[in-house]
Amino acid sequence: MKIAESKVGARLAAQRAVVWAMAAGGDPLARLAAPPWRDNPYPVYERMRSEPIVRSRFGWHAVAGHDLCSRILRDRRFHVRSSDGVEPQPFTEPLIPADYAVAPTFLELDPPDHTRLRALARPAFSPSKIEGYRARVAKTTGELLDRALAKPEFDLVADFATPLPIAVISELLGIPDVDADRFGAFGRVVGASLDGVTSLRQARALRAATTELRALFGELIEARSREPGPDVISALVSALGTGELTELELLTTCELLLIAGFETTANLIGNGMWTFAQHPDQWERLRADPELAPGAVEEILRFESPVQMTQRMPHEDVEIAGVRVPGDSTVVLLLGAAGRDPAVFADPNRFDIERADTDHLAFAGGVHYCLGAPLARLEADIALRALAERLPRIRPLATPKWRGTTVIRGLRSLRLRP
């Protein structure tokens, strides 16, 4: 096994070198996956928007314009898997040994399986349920800020932006004894895997995280089978008993709801506060009028989207903007680029929390529109209001570094002085 893994590791290292060489040679998709371009993808996006659809040397097509991204997200000819049910590969080939494989969640499934599993999770995110979480979000926000602001300096990401949504989604799922640091580490590992597994070290970390999550949810599922409660896991266990989903589907749905339930919100808050630090005039406007918070959330989602891209595959040959795209080929939809499309947003590189045009695609669209979007908006709204009230100035102690990921955009940390 060790000899086989060392060969795989060598091939993955060679692939990383190839991606970087392609990036250095100007391939736009490769640049989005490689430093230093990855840290600031917006100049790459701007060049890509000069054409309706760009073909990469990877063999993929990429779309950077808002209108075309929006149309493809809603086009029933496009799917998240190929016509034979295979998930599209990321930038790397499937070289990882089979025992490192991770079962797909419903985000990675097409109808009817996607429809069936999403319907089982949907009741937890109904408007009445979301409103019912408001008091809990506000209470947790206050407690976390009390602890963070009592320090001479604090990390906004680790001390506030990450543990806030972890606490909320954990209560929703009915997870006791929550370890925010541990769950946050799981989120970073799983989030990075959306780019593809590029090293054996990453593969091992992903397998370890998945193993721990499976054990955690396995125990909770067994407990809820004996004593159901008002939480989401109990509702899903009930569906398991009626044959509406399999045990593996139950486990992967629980994992998805946990990780997706905090990763987007954590990065939304972190990205937003760093953006405000660079635009102190906008912070003053929010502090002067906290009712601007909902608009500020939408502007952050447009300006620094936590999810920068997604993929779709047509099951037949299609024509996009005059370009023939073969069936079962990958089309990358650059949601972060769509958010700064001048054809839709006036002066798109200007951060303006009172912007009127806020039709971003940060939560995707169509049948795969983010199920947890209302909860993410609620949490970010409450968080920004509280921060604006209690943090007169945003004083970063250093320029933060972005996480080394492409699909997920977020900060490693953001150290502040109260």
pLDDT tier, 149 (very low <50, low <70, confident <90, very high otherwise): very high
Whether 206 shows a pLDDT value over 50: the answer reads yes
What mean pLDDT value characterizes the chain?
Answer: 90
Dihedral angle at the C-alpha atoms of 78, 81, 83, 84, nearest 10 degrees?
A: 180
Rounded Cα distance, 377 and 373, in Å: 6
DSSP H/E element including 312: strand 310-314
Question: Could you tell me what percent of the chain has a pLDDT over 70?
Answer: 94
User: What local confidence, expressed as pLDDT, does residue 10 receive?
Assistant: 74
* Residue 412: inside a domain: yes
Amino acid in position 404 = G
Averaged pLDDT for residues 170-174:
92
Q: What is the pLDDT averaged over residues 339-347?
A: 97
Alpha carbon distance 305, 362 (integer Å): 6
Residue 410 lies in a domain: yes
Q: Do the domain assignments include residue 160?
A: yes
Q: Which domain holds residue 322?
A: 2-97+120-416
Average pLDDT score over residue span 140-159? 97
Q: pLDDT of 28-52, one tens digit each? A: 999 999 999 999 999 999 999 999 9
Residue 301 maps to which CATH number?
1.10.630.10
Strand partners of residue 155: 415
Taking only the tens place, the pLDDT of each residue in 81-133 is 988 876 665 544 444 444 444 567 888 899 999 999 999 999 888 888 888 99
> What pLDDT, on a 0 to 100 scale, did the predictor assign at position 5?
64
Q: What is the pLDDT of residue 8?
A: 67
Residue 341 within any structural domain of the chain: yes
pLDDT of residue 95: 43
Distant-in-sequence, close-in-space partners of 411: CB < 8 Å, separation ≥ 6: 157, 267, 270, 271, 274, 400, 401, 402, 403
Cα 192 from Cα 184, distance rounded (Å): 12
- For 402, counting Cβ atoms within 10 Å of its Cβ (0-12 exposed, 13-18 middle, 19+ buried), the class is middle
Residue 367 lies in a domain: yes
374 in a structural domain: yes
Say if residues 396 and 416 touch (Cβ distance below 8 Å). yes
Residues 87 and 80: beta-carbon distance below 8 Å:
yes
Does a structural domain hold residue 104?
no
For residue 102, the model assigns a pLDDT of 58
Beta pairing, strands 323-325 & 318-320: antiparallel
- Predicted confidence at residue 2, as pLDDT, reads 56
Residues 230, 231, 234: CA angle, nearest 5 degrees? 90
The answer to whether residue 269 is domain-embedded is yes
The dihedrals phi and psi of 244, each to the nearest 5 degrees, come to -75, -15
Phi and psi of 83, rounded to 5°?
A: -65, -20
Is the bond preceding residue 36 a cis peptide, omega within 30 degrees?
A: yes
Q: 221: helix, coil or strand?
A: helix
213 against 334, higher pLDDT: 334
CA distances from 235 to 136, 175, 230, 244, 348 (A): 21, 14, 8, 11, 43
- pLDDT at position 88 is 63
- Distance between CA atoms of residues 77 and 95, nearest Å: 29
The reported pLDDT for the residue numbered 90 is 54
Q: What is the mean pLDDT of residues 370-384?
A: 96
| Number of domains forming the structure of the chain | 1
Of 22-26, 288-292, 341-345, minimum mean pLDDT range: 22-26
Question: What pLDDT sits at residue 98?
Answer: 47
Q: What's the CA gap between 213 and 304, in Å, rounded? A: 29
Q: Give the residues across from 79 on adjacent strands.
A: 313
